Amino acid sequence: MCRWLAYSGTPLLLDTILYKPAHSLIDQSLHSRLGVETTNGDGFGVGWYPQESIDTPALLRDVGPAWNNRNLREIADHVRSPLFFAHIRASTGTAVQQSNCHPFRYGRWMWMHNGGITDFHLVRRDLTLQVDPELYSAIEGTTDSETMFYLALTLGLEQDPPGAVARMVGLVERSGREHGIEFPLQMTIAVTDGERLWAFRYSTQGTSRSLFYSTRVDTLRKLHPDVAFLREVSDETHLIVSEPLGDLPGAWNEVPESSYGVVHAGADELCPFTPEPV
């Protein structure tokens, strides 16, 4: 499987969230505590929205491990953004190639995933044929994750992200069961349009991969007034992560099973998630 983080809030250098935490995503690429695999070295990717514009996010993706990539280390000290996605990959069977590294991008949208479609090779053709023909040519790789993204786009992601993801999951589960697959899907997903951020935790079996969200900054300031980072960021700052980036007491909360969260200016929501039949 994989590990990922999504950051939204006060513009900061990528280094602040990618390298500096005690159990950073770079550390997790070698020493994951909660993932299926300890090592996640089958490629990485980061995506961000330049402060000047949010029309199209920038991407850096590579097939090597994140822990020794000089280009990633170089940009981390120079790229500042209010919204970052970062992902380290452990392949579930598809090729280790750049086009299979997350995040995936379409227009202003970014998407990343941890988990998998069970026996994807059995359902891949059926699912791919459900992608809108006008979107199909934009698919670059061979992963189940990218297929899920384009199915969600086909099913209305740009208008209704939670509904589109629910319909995508319903379609994947229906296809899987038609092929005799008992538990077709395992997923934690992050998706953003550059202004809002959605994160989903769900699996057919009801035992989903780990996912956590950060406690409100104003609450953490009261708990830990000596932590400089908390004084430097706004109350609108949030992190969603596959596993906690450190052991600061009270900082991390598990996303409930079969739920999704929305992060946007002024208010955040945590809602139940249920697949929709298609």
Which helix (H) or strand (E) segment holds residue 220: the answer is helix 217-223
Instruction: Find all residues with CB under 8 Å of 245, minimum gap 6, and list them.
Output: 5, 17, 21, 22, 23, 24, 25, 239
Angstrom distance (rounded) from CA 187 to CA 191:
13
Please tell me whether residue 239 adopts helix, strand or coil conformation.
Answer: strand
Query: Based on the number of CB atoms within 10 Å of its own CB, is 73 exposed (0-12), middle (13-18) or buried (19 or more)?
Result: middle
Residues forming the active site? 2
Looking at the chain, which runs of residues are DSSP E strands?
3-13, 44-48, 58-62, 80-88, 104-106, 109-117, 185-192, 197-203, 212-214, 238-241, 252-254, 259-264, 267-272
Q: State the DSSP code for 107.
A: T
Nearest alpha carbon to residue 117 among 105, 128, 106: 128
Q: Please, which residues bridge with residue 185 across strands?
A: 117
Nearest alpha carbon to residue 100 among 37, 168, 40, 43: 43
